[in-house]
Amino acid sequence: HSQKYKGSNFRSHSEGWSDAITEAAADGSKPRDYLLLAILSCFCPLWPINIVALTFSVMSRNSLQQGNVDGARRLGRNAMILSVVSILGGIAIIAAAITK
């Protein structure tokens, strides 16, 4: 199953999730879950946003394990965006607290 699919990435339910992960990894398009970035963002003082980022990251990893590559990519992107917002917001809050 090392061929590239043109068009949609539709996979029937009869195929195993390992085939979907293997093909996604072979194409170099395995979605990232940004778990490390989400964990690091939890040390920033913007706590509601970083907890949601961590949740999205874990959901992305679970979606990939279930074979839902598109869902994993979408959730991973959301986790990355929220993690970056949390880190930048945390830096801004810490900088504001220090300069007062």
pLDDT tens, position by position, 85-98: 999 999 999 999 99
- The domain locations on the chain are 32-99
Between CA 58 and CA 80 the distance in angstroms is 12
High-pLDDT (> 70) share of the chain, %? 72
Q: Are 20 and 61 in contact (CB under 8 A)?
A: no
Considering the chain, what is the average pLDDT of its residues?
81
- The predicted pLDDT at position 27 comes to 57
Q: Are 83 and 53 in contact (CB under 8 A)?
A: yes
Q: Is the pLDDT of residue 53 over 60?
A: yes
Between CA 33 and CA 95 the distance in angstroms is 29
- The predicted pLDDT at position 18 comes to 45
For 11-15, 23-27, 75-79, which range has the lowest pLDDT when averaged over its residues?
11-15
